[in-house]
Amino acid sequence: MSYAAQNGADVINISLRGGRNSATLQSAIAAASQTAVVVSSAGNDRDDAPVYPAAYDTTLSVTGTNRDGTKHEAANHGSWVDVSAPGRNILTTIVGGGYRPQSGTSLATPFVSGLAGLLRSQHPEWSPATVRARIINTADDIDALNPGLEGQMGSGRINAARALTAAGPHLGRENDGIGAP
pLDDT at position 171 = 55
Q: Is the pLDDT of residue 178 over 50?
A: no
For the stretch 110-147, pLDDT in tens is: 999 999 999 999 999 999 999 999 999 999 999 999 99
Nearest 5°: phi and psi at 149?
Answer: -120, 20
45, 49, 51, 54 alpha-carbon torsion, rounded to 10°: 110
CA atoms of 7 and 129, how far apart (whole Å): 19
Give, to the nearest 10 degrees, the angle between helix 128-137 and helix 105-122.
120
CA atoms of 142 and 130, how far apart (whole Å): 23
> Please, which pLDDT band fits residue 170 given cuts at 50, 70 and 90?
low
Q: Are 5 and 35 in contact (CB under 8 A)?
A: yes
Alpha helices in the chain (DSSP H): 2-6, 23-32, 105-122, 128-137, 160-165
For the stretch 11-64, pLDDT in tens is: 999 998 776 888 999 999 999 999 999 999 999 999 999 999 999 999 999 999
Strand partners, 12: 38
Q: Are 132 and 113 in contact (CB under 8 A)?
A: no
Identify the DSSP state of 155. Answer: B
Lowest-pLDDT choice from 69-78, 99-108, 166-175:
166-175
Nearest 5°: phi and psi at 177?
Answer: 75, 10
Residue type, 57: D
CA atoms of 104 and 92, how far apart (whole Å): 12
Q: Which residues contact 95 (CB under 8 A, 6 or more apart)?
A: none
Q: Which residues contact 180 (CB under 8 A, 6 or more apart)?
A: 169, 170
